[in-house]
Amino acid sequence: MKEVQAIVHDKTGTLTKGKPELTDIIILDETMTEEDVLFYAGSVETGSEHPLGTAIVRGAQERGLSLESPGSFTSFRGRGVEGSVKGSMVRVGKPDLLPAEAINEEIERQFSELQQQAKTVMIVGLDDRPIGIVAVADTLKDDSIEAIRELEAMGLKTIMLTGDNEQTAKAIAEKLGMSDIYAEVMPDEKVDVVKKAQEKYGMVAMVGDGINDAPALAQANVGVAIGTGTDIAIESGDIILVRGDISGLVSAIKLSRETFRKIKQNLFWAFFYNIVAIPLATFGLMHPVFAEVAMAISSISVVTNANLLRRADISPSYEAGPD
């Protein structure tokens, strides 16, 4: 861990709490109301297990809407979902799920404004025509900003990996103060991102919590799994952050550096005593008993010095949040 030069962070569930909430509903069709848009979006998303879809469903239920299960359902990885609701085909996701001519400049402008606010934005289409826009935001963990700042201050490059639009990703990365971002990354492309980071920076750690993070955790020089995440991610990690907060990552790096410092100190003392005492005893310049005492002192000093590691301050320089 002490050799790591860069750390790749998966965004959702790692830097954020992984519990996105519905924040905006924009009407694009005058024949529709906010409730109509949310009904269609929420109904088709009942077939999805993605956190963004869950946020839309939860938002609809909180508004008292009675949703329907889609008659058919298809998930387009990294793009969105579609399904039939009341005999119509409903699509929720990126604008490219709808015909290109259905997306005008006004829709693009509204998308851009919401993305600049670090929100994930999705179009809602009904039979190939846009009827609304929904936006979802995931709250950053209490200690994410402070942890990233400290990691950067320690000389490490921090990289964010996300499936979000690049504009949304940049807004979040700027808030966190991260060195680099990889946006619009598909689940099966995460390993490639880690490989690129290794080519660019050398030794790389990867932090993740989901099922699709497991291959990237295995590819990284050090895999760091969030303890509140999935079992397969935890099994793939070399280090487990049990509480789930990023401040544990700061402590892990400090502990690694302190441990290696103790190793070097102990090697010095072990060799120092033996290099001085053994030749003197060999040539009769020191009584063998004194040489044996020197070797015993060497062992005692090494063990004592190692135990001083307990006193090393590996806590973050800020006060970690309750997570």
Residues forming the active site: 10
Q: Which residues pair with 76 in a beta bridge?
A: 80
- Is residue 290 within 8 A of residue 276, CB to CB? The reply is no
Query: How many CA atoms, within 13 angstroms, populate the side-chain half-sphere of residue 156?
Result: 25
Transcribe 274-294 into DSSP letters: HHHHHHHHHTTSS-HHHHHHH
Q: Using an 8 Å Cβ cutoff, are 141 and 322 in contact?
A: no
- Exposed / middle / buried, residue 310 (Cβ in 10 Å: 0-12, 13-18, 19+): exposed
As a whole number of angstroms, the distance between CA 22 and CA 16 comes to: 15
Q: Which residues pair with 88 in a beta bridge?
A: 85
CA distances from 224 to 22, 142, 167, 183, 205 (A): 30, 19, 27, 21, 7
Query: Could you give the 3-state DSSP secondary structure of residue 11?
Result: helix
The token pair that represents 230 in the structure block? 């999935």
State the burial class of residue 93 (Cβ atoms within 10 Å of its Cβ: 0-12, 13-18, 19+).
buried
